[in-house]
Amino acid sequence: MGLQFRSLRILVLLICFLWRPRVGSPLSNSETKPAKALDTTLQEYAYRAFFHPRTGIPFDGLVPPYLTGIEISAMRLRSGSLFHRGVQTFKEFRVPTGIREEPYVERLVLVYQNLGNWSTTYYPLPGYTYLAPILGLLAYNGSDLSSTNLPELELWASNDPITIKFGQIRSKPASSHPKCVWFDRHGQVNFTNLEPDNQCLTYEQGHFSIVIESPPAPAPPEIAAPPEESVVTDGKENMPKVCTIVGIAGGGTILMVLMSLVIIWAWRYKKRKRIRELERAANAGEALRMTRVGSMRVPYAMATRTTPDLEIDFAS
Ligand SMILES: *[C@@H]1O[C@H](CO)[C@@H](O)[C@H](O)[C@H]1NC(C)=O
Ligand SMILES: *[C@@H]1O[C@H](CO)[C@@H](O)[C@H](O)[C@H]1NC(C)=O
Ligand SMILES: *[C@@H]1O[C@H](CO)[C@@H](O)[C@H](O)[C@H]1NC(C)=O
Nearest to 83 by CA among 92, 96, 94: 96
Is residue 292 very low, low, confident or very high in pLDDT (cuts 50, 70, 90)?
low
Residue nearest (by alpha carbon) to ligand 3 atom 2: 190
What's the 302 CA to ligand 3 centre distance in angstroms?
86
More confident of the two residues 226 and 178: 178
- Tell me, what's the pLDDT at 269? 77
CA dihedral 133, 134, 137, 141 (to 10 degrees): -120
Question: Residue 251 above 90 pLDDT?
Answer: no
Percent of the chain whose predicted confidence (pLDDT) is above 70: 65
Record the pTM. 0.64
What's the 33 CA to ligand 2 centre distance in angstroms?
25
Nearest to 142 by CA among 208, 207, 56: 56
50 Rama sector, left if φ>0, alpha if ψ -120 to 50, beta otherwise: beta
Question: Residue 204 above 80 pLDDT?
Answer: yes
More confident of the two residues 82 and 271: 82
Residue to substitute in 63, 67, 68, 120 for testing ligand 1 pocket (most ligand atoms within 8 angstroms of CB):
68
CA distance 146 to 104: 19
What are the CB-based long-range contacts (under 8 Å, 24+) for 118-123? 118/67, 118/69, 118/70, 119/209, 120/226, 121/34, 121/230, 121/231, 121/233, 122/34, 122/35, 122/38, 122/231, 123/35, 123/183, 123/207, 123/209
CA distance 65 to 63: 6
CA 74 to chain centre: 30
Residue nearest (by alpha carbon) to ligand 2 atom 5: 144
Question: Residue 240 above 60 pLDDT?
Answer: no
CA distance 157 to 110: 14
- Tell me, what's the pLDDT at 244? 54
224, 217 contact by CB (below 8 A): yes
Assess whether the C-beta atom of 145 lies below 6 angstroms from ligand 2: no
| CATH class of residue range 29-213 | mainly beta
Burial class (CB in 10 A: 0-12, 13-18, 19+), 311: exposed
Q: Which residues line ligand 3 (CB under 6 A)?
A: 188, 190
More confident of the two residues 31 and 127: 127
Residue to substitute in 184, 186, 190, 201 for testing ligand 3 pocket (most ligand atoms within 8 angstroms of CB):
190
